[in-house]
Amino acid sequence: MEKTNAFEKIKIKNIEFKNRIVRSATNEHLGDFDGTITDDYIKVYDSLSKNDVGLLITSQLSVNKNQRADITHICVDNLKNIEKFKLLTSTVHNNGSKIIGQISYGGHRANNIQNHIAKTPSGIDNSVAMTIEDINICIQDYVSAVKILQETGFDGAQLHVAHQYLLSEFLDPFYNKRTDSYGGTIENRYRIIHELLEEIKKIINPDFLITVKLNVTSKDSNYKDFFNDQIQVCKWLEQDGVDAIEISGCDYLNFNQSTPYYLDSALKIKYEISIPIILVGGFRDINQIKKALNCGIDFVSMCRPFIAEENFIEKLKNNEKSKCINCNKCFEIFKTKHTRCVFRNDVIPQLEKNFPNT
Ligand SMILES: Cc1cc2nc3c(=O)[nH]c(=O)nc-3n(C[C@H](O)[C@H](O)[C@H](O)COP(=O)(O)O)c2cc1C
């Protein structure tokens, strides 16, 4: 069975990872409400890296504080974070792991925050349809964020093009009803991402990684061409210089199985491109991980198992399963008295302080 070892080193460009295990982007709800990093946030990354996670992808970091989707999202455009980012990246590096910052624009979810008006491709759900000027500002916001991540020691950036945040909304015809050059054909729906990658290329160092997290399913289940469109998008991402793609889907939390539910889609994409594939969703034991790696997946990424137990790698090495039961209470933090996981009793302090009765 043992062919590709989950715990062997692997490189992307000149960056060497101590193993093939990734903690996928996870909102820990530990940003302060002004968008700054808290000490508790750094502690989570210290602990995960001490516990041997090879690559940590941060919680989504908003590139524009007015377009964040959650009051606890950390904002890259809050310059108070510069020193904290440096502390975060050096902490992870000192423990021998790598760290990539996931960057996002909230899309329709930016309406979650009081007095904020979400900007989206076509103005659904009381949001405002983006003008060409808004699109150009958005591109510049991403570029500024990448510059900051690079200057503060991150190994790379991940564009959040999944889970119905702005960039995935552009790709998905369910959300993108535009009739200009940013809507309609897949080439048009991809245009904003292409333009963004062109701008990013101008400012990054050769060893700074650019990755993308991508949906393989559409919000519109009747749109049968979506997967083929996404294969085309993967080919363009590769041509546009992206170093790795993490495969996810719009229905990523609907699956209650403890099984890697996007494996088949990821393998089909792997066959079409040559950059590394990271697969997320449903991995709960070492045999599933070995199987995916042996089939050609390059990295296996997990979220909920690391919320339940930060020392999950040790359990994998001992052939023990995750204790996560996919209850998704970690996602519905306001319904769980601000406790991060049903198996833990640590409460999110700033939620507890500001929303004591929820
Ligand atoms: C509490 C919670 C927060 C999440 N935050 C993010 C996020 O900030 N960015 C992102 O791309 N995905 C986020 N996800 C999705 C995960 O990265 C992952 O794709 C999904 O949970 C499936 O993986 P799993 O089965 O290993 O949990 C989050 C998931 C949960 C449960």
Distance 60 CA to ligand 1 centre (A): 10
Q: What is the distance in A from the centroid of ligand 1 to the CA of 180? A: 32
Q: Are residues 144 and 105 in contact, defined by beta-carbon separation less than 8 angstroms?
A: no
Please name the residue that has the structure tokens 């564009």: 159
Over the stretch 158-199, which tens digit does the pLDDT of each residue have? 999 999 999 999 999 999 999 999 999 999 999 999 999 999
Which of 27, 158, 297 best tests ligand 1's pocket when mutated (most atoms within 8 Å of CB)?
27
- Which of 23, 24, 211 to probe ligand 1 with, by most ligand atoms within 8 A of CB? 24
The residue whose CA is least distant from atom 5 of ligand 1 is 26
Residue percentage of the chain with pLDDT more than 70: 98
Query: What is the DSSP-derived secondary structure letter of residue 334?
Result: G
| CATH architecture of the domain covering 10-326 | Alpha-Beta Barrel (3.20)
pTM score, whole prediction: 0.97
Instruction: State the Rg of the chain over Cα.
Output: 19
Residue 34 Cα to ligand 1 middle (Å): 22
> 268 burial class (0-12, 13-18, 19+ CB within 10 angstroms)?
middle
Task: Band the pLDDT of 240: cuts 50, 70, 90.
Answer: very high
Beta strands in the chain (DSSP E): 10-12, 15-17, 21-23, 55-57, 61-62, 74-75, 98-104, 119-120, 128-129, 156-161, 209-215, 244-248, 277-280, 299-302
Structure-token pair, residue 105: 């624009």
Q: Residue 290 is inside which H or E element, if any?
A: helix 286-295
**Pocket lining: 312 vs ligand 1, CB cutoff 6 Å:** no
What are the pLDDT digits (tens) for 258-287? 899 999 999 999 999 999 999 999 999 999
Question: Which DSSP letter does residue 72 get?
Answer: T
Task: Please report, for the chain, the start and end positions of each structural domain, with discontinuous segments joined by +.
Answer: 10-326
